[in-house]
Amino acid sequence: MKTLALQSAMEYLMTYGWAILIIAVVLGALFGLGFFNSANLAPKVAAGACQVYRPQGPGTTSFINLEGTCNNELPQYVAKFNGYGANYILTPTSSGLSGYPNGFTWSIWVLSNNNWANSGGSNSGNPMTQYMAGGEIQDLMFGFDSGHPGMRAEAAYSGCTAHDIGDGITNTAGRWMFYVMTYNGVVLSLYTNGADSGSSNQPCSLATAMATSGIYIGGGQTCFCTWNGMIANVQVYNTSLSSNEVMALYQGGIGGTPLSLDYLVGWWPLNGNANDYSGNLNNGAINGAMSFTSSWTSSYTAP
């Protein structure tokens, strides 16, 4: 009986084994392409599906609220930068952080195509920068360069010493990462995927510095160090969010909605356009050969 059972099993494998093998290969290929990634299967929302409504107009804080599909759903598109030339989005002057009476917060989702960003052959890249030539603020940025192996935040301003934080933080190529920079009037801090990545006391107060320029997304004014990869869901506040709020933003994911709407300056989901959905009408201007892509989900894992 055992011999007959074994013979039957061998005949079954010889008959159907090739089919099982093909199915296994196909499933492996689909898994490798991210077909089974929940981000690929989740519904996607169009640009403007969720936005801040300010019934009394831009800049007002009375009776403001979120309207639309605001359940932290995934966007259809994200912004894509090729790493060469002056490719960036520039927000209006009104979106700049002017005066910093309550500090500030920048948050951004990024994916780098390599362990460094790349610009014109040099190992540099600024996913988010503010610069004011001849003014107080000279450089306020997230970025990479050859002297700083890893994502960093930098603040340099007239009469003060440049301070870098977060040197050496690993940026994993081909993986979506969430970075936040906060300033509370004394301390500049960097967060990576919701976790504290370092801080620095500033030698003079950013509250005395007036930045009248807009914000560069995907590049920078001084070196045009263009990001080589993707960027999504940029949020700017004129207050310093707490560590708990930063973690809440991260847990909201790449489609997460803003917090602390009273302090929200600008919200650029980059879901197919550079419009500001904070209700403050700080729509960005696209410069260069950047584009929007729907092929981004295979490299994203929800928090």
Supply the pLDDT for residue 210.
53
Residue pointed to by tokens 């919200």:
267
- CATH 2.60.120.200 for the 44-299 domain, yes or no: yes
Q: Show the CA angle centred on residue 144, arms to residues 140 and 146, nearest 5°.
A: 125
3-state secondary structure 193-209: CCEEEEEEECCCCHHHC
pLDDT digits (tens, 9 = 90+) for 197-238: 877 776 555 555 555 678 889 876 655 567 888 999 999 998
pTM attached to this predicted model: 0.82
* Residue 257 scores a pLDDT above 50: yes
Higher pLDDT, residue 141 or 208 = 141
